[in-house]
Structure 1
């Protein structure tokens, strides 16, 4: 079966099963994915995501932003400190 044929029958449920199988390295029946199966499955996931998911929900998405444009995140009241330890 060609990738284009597979993508035509792929639905959200099949996508989830395929995604979980790639993540775990095993099919739902417990059988390990071969390297070839893993690569083909990952290609199908990425192609399906491109057509059906917003960019920020796709595999490998990384937001594009400049670090200087981000506001500092303050998680605690006290600032963190870095300690250096020296040998001897």
Structure 2
């Protein structure tokens, strides 16, 4: 399978599973990845991000294959905006 076929076949759910596996070293079901599996997952994640990541985080691969770095000020602004979108709910203990 070539890169384009891989990217066409990879769904967002598959990407999330591969990202989890890369970050934790385990599949979502709990079994450990070998180093070769982790390396392959990381390559697939980076390829997927290079095609689909239009809102890259602090340091990731953006759409188009560019590595994206956000400054501390940009991250603070992003997180403060997201915090305002969170609705707080008071839970009563009856």
* Partner Cα separation in structure 2 for residue 14 and residue 37 of structure 1: 14
| Cα displacement (A) at 1:34 | 0.6
2:20 matched residue in structure 1? 20
Cα displacement (A) at 1:15? 0.6
Q: How far apart in 1 are the matches of 2:2 and 2:33?
A: 19
Please give the residue correspondences for 1:1-40 in structure 2 after superposition, counting only pairs within 5 Å: 1-40=1-40
Aligned-partner SS, 1:7: helix
In the TM superposition, residue 54 of structure 1 has moved relative to its aligned partner by: 1.7
Q: Deviations over 1:28-59 (max 9, x none)?
A: 22111111001110000001111111263435
Confirm or deny: 8 A CA contact 1:17 1:28 kept in the other structure. yes
Partner Cα distance (1:16, 1:55) in 2: 15
Which 10-residue stretch deviates more, 14-23 or 50-59? 50-59
Structure 2 residues not aligned, in runs of 5+: 62-66, 74-94
TM-score when normalising by structure 2:
0.56
Gaps of 5+ in 1: 71-88
Q: What count of residue pairs does the alignment treat as equivalent?
A: 66
| TM-score of the pair, normalised by structure 1 | 0.60
